[in-house]
Each structure stands twice: as structure tokens, then as C-alpha cells.
Amino acid sequence: MPQQLKDRRIAILATDGFEQSELVEPKRALNAAGARVDVVAPKAGSIRGWKTDDWGDEVAVDVPLVEAQAEAYDALVLPGGVLNPDHLRTDAAAVGFVRSFFEQHKPVVAICHGPWTLVEADVLEGRRVTSYPSIRSDLINAGAHWENAEVVEDDGLVTNRNPDGIPAFNRKVVEVVAASRATAHKAA
């Protein structure tokens, strides 16, 4: 993957309670492919992950959500964990940020419970997705076509079922972002 994503800038939108591996591993893969990756969060400073069944590590916030503009990014990553997307979907600024990526036809990728935020952004009508099985009905009720698959890609929307599928997810994300037409920002 060396430098496939050179000059690409990716936002990872998360808050406290993100599933540790679902933020850290995609961030590592995107950086390894040459992308500049910013952690965007509703608060400045740092956010704390959830690691299986207890609190995990803190991750530095690069850009507070109030300062983030979708126009500055080439793609958006939405990690899961139960707490993280449940909080983000009640945050109007986070929902608007997510919706902006769809309006600009930029890749959006979501892992596990991450698609919950897509439900609130009202961007799933007619889209093929996967997710953690417990939110299947939520996605179907939002108009999505849910598939029981490791990774599903639908016109720039990439979804992953659970942390076990992160390696396949990371490969698909790099592929989709590399193939996307719009390069919004030249990394500084």
C-alpha cells in the first residue's frame, strides 16, 4: 500500500467509547498508505477508547468538530463501539458533518455499530450495507439493504460487520479512497 493515498486527507469522526481497534487499526493502515489522518471529535484534547469490555487508551483529537469542514477531507471513517455512535447520532454537528460527505460524494466508511450515525444522517435509503447484527433492523428501517457479509461496498460507502473483519475492511477502504475521483485537499 505504500503511498497509494499520498495527498489524501481522511477524517476519523469519533468520541469517547469508540472501539479501540476500529479507530487505531484503520488509522494505521491509512497512514501507511500515505494519507494524512485527522481524528475529529466533539471535544478538544483527547477521547478514550473502549477495549472489548473496559475502557481503553486515550487518542489525541487533531481537529475539534466545531473547526472541521468536510470540504477539507477526501473521506470519512466512522469507528463503532456502542457508546461512540450512540453519542454521535445525537450530536447535530456530527450528523451534519457526516451528511456533508454524502452531499459531496466522498467515500464514507463505517465499522460495526458505526452505521448508527448514518441512520440519523438519513443517507441510507437504497444503499447496501453491513454492520454488527444487533443494529440490522435500525439500518433496514432507515431504507438500507442489509447484508450478512464481512465488508460491503456500495458506491463509495464501505461498511464492515465487526472488528474481526478489519484487515479486509482496511484493504477495501484504501482501494475505494484511492479510486475516488475527488481529491479535496493536498496534505501539507
DSSP 8-state class, residue 16: T
Contact between 63 and 48 under an 8 Å Cβ cutoff? The reply is no
3-state secondary structure of 145: strand
Instruction: Please say whether the beta carbons of 5 and 26 come within 8 A.
Output: no
Could you give the 3-state DSSP secondary structure of residue 140? helix
- What number of H helices and E strands is found in the chain? 6, 12
Give me 119's grid cell: 441512520
Which of the following is catalytic: 87, 113, 145, 185? 113
Catalytic residue among 87, 105, 112, 145: 112
Cα–Cα dist 47/69, whole Å: 20
All three cell numbers of 181: 475521483
Q: Is 185 a catalytic residue?
A: no
Whether the Cβ atoms of residue 144 and residue 157 lie closer than 8 Å to each other: no
User: Would residue 145 show up in a list of annotated catalytic residues for this protein?
Assistant: no
Active site residues: 112-113
